[in-house]
Chain A
Amino acid sequence: MSVSGEVAEKLSTLREASAVALRLKTVQYFDAIQGMLDRFAMKKNLEVVYVTTTIPAQSILSALEVLEVPMDHIWLVDCISQIMMSPGKQHPHAIVVESPTMLENIMLKVEFLLRKHPDRSALVVLDSINSLAIHNNTKILSEFLHILVNNLRARGAYTVIFSMLEYETEDIRNMLVLVSDETIELGD
């Protein structure tokens, strides 16, 4: 089975309000995004809030365009462009957080986007725990995940937290166990 198909299928088995750790290899990254957004979220009519701390929103947007994923219900919270001083143009579906260290502001932007679209169920994607761990210590990151995930759970939203296997540490694995209901690991 393709990576995108596998991701969509495994996510589809989850109940609403689940928080999932999606452990994947770097080579599976874009296929996993396609499976999650194009197959799973579209089928379930979900509003997607995609928090990117790994690559700029512009790169995600370009990838989604190539993959022909419709953008109507996808919103990006870009936590990396500003800190990179990247001159990328603004996109109507992307909002910026100054730095991945501003964890409270990430929560606030997610809240803002969910309030803008109260009529649909939501999927919130955190891409990725590994890059957040570069910029934040374990204690504050655990606290952030704990509050964010519980808040989203209370709203009935799905949460998917990306973890790149190549960059996982024991601290990250412990954090994921603490906040996730399920762990999805993709096959080779």
Chain B
Amino acid sequence: MPTKERDAGERERCVTGIDAIDHILNGGIPRGNTVLISGSVGTGKTSMCIEFLIRGALEGENSLYLSVTEPTDKLLMNVIPFDFFDDKLAKQGKLQFIDLPKIYQELGIDKEEIDFEQARLLADTIAGMVENQKIRRLVLDSVTSVCYRIRDQERIRDFLLRLGTVLSAKGCTSLLVSEIRSSEEGYSHWGVEEALADGVIVTGNLERRGDLLRTLQIVKMRGTTHSRAKYVLDLTTSGVLLVPLLKGGSVTGGG
């Protein structure tokens, strides 16, 4: 079910369909939240986002993936062959993949740096697509790449605020992928992204006695109580699976 009915006063949820995440969030992401999915390379950000969209499309929610860094053809060739994926979703238009560079082209954004007006135009264009096509789930992969072209912190703030406000008003739950280096402090390259997001989910690599574990932690999520514990993640054909990180009596989580 894409939406979970809540008690009075509680916000409507967007049930991600990723069981463990819905469990951690006590029923799913509050509907309309803009969530930063932050992590270094190879930690499962894109796979998790694609599963979020497929699960939504399977439940009848129009879902849109905006790819910035990688052409979607190449992306889809390398994506995990999920058992639950259905070709019909794309044919029916329930699940769409669009390359953002094509939108840049259509908008005449051809310079390396995006100025204030162009950033606003881009935010309004994405918002327009969400409205016209009744998109309920959106992934922007990655917001870091867009911000690299906007460059200026004030312009980034304006772009994200504008985009987030419209998406939220339309009831569109969105995941913004934030690429960070493992050595980087914070959850986003520019710092603005995490401050404006309603939620922050961090994926990472944890080395323990020579083993490299993929981890996930929900640091922030407005509109719901949630666990802030660290989990170990596996990317499988059945989707993203999580189990608690074992502490083994150690405060640093090692055994």
Which residues of A are in contact with B by a Cβ distance under 8 Å? 98-99, 101-105, 107-109, 111-112, 115-116, 136-137, 139-140, 143-144, 147
Q: Are B209 and A101 in contact (CB under 8 A)?
A: yes
Which residues of B are in contact with A by a Cβ distance under 8 Å? 208-209, 211, 213, 232, 234, 236, 238, 241-250, 255
A-B contact count (CB 8 A): 58
Q: Are B241 and A98 in contact (CB under 8 A)?
A: no
Contact among A99, A112, A116, A143 for B246, CB-based, below 8 A: A143
Q: How far is the CB of B17 from chain A (nearest CB, A)?
A: 13
| Residues of chain B lying within 8 A (CB to CB) of residue A139 | 248-250, 255
| Residues of chain A lying within 8 A (CB to CB) of residue B208 | 101
| Residues of chain B lying within 8 A (CB to CB) of residue A111 | 241, 243
Q: How far is the CB of B230 from chain A (nearest CB, A)?
A: 10
Expressed in whole angstroms, the Cα–Cα distance for A104 and B246 within the complex equals 7
| Residues of chain A lying within 8 A (CB to CB) of residue B255 | 101, 103, 136-137, 139-140
Q: How far is the CB of A182 from chain B (nearest CB, A)?
A: 25
Expressed in whole angstroms, the Cα–Cα distance for A107 and B244 within the complex equals 10
Contact among B209, B236, B238, B246 for A144, CB-based, below 8 A: B246
Query: Which of B211, B236, B246 lies at the interface centre, i.e. has the most chain A CB atoms within 10 A of its CB?
Result: B246
| Residues of chain A lying within 8 A (CB to CB) of residue B232 | 104-105, 108
Q: Are B243 and A104 in contact (CB under 8 A)?
A: yes
Expressed in whole angstroms, the Cα–Cα distance for A103 and B209 within the complex equals 12
Q: Are A102 and B213 in contact (CB under 8 A)?
A: yes
| Residues of chain A lying within 8 A (CB to CB) of residue B247 | 140, 143
Expressed in whole angstroms, the Cα–Cα distance for A102 and B234 within the complex equals 12
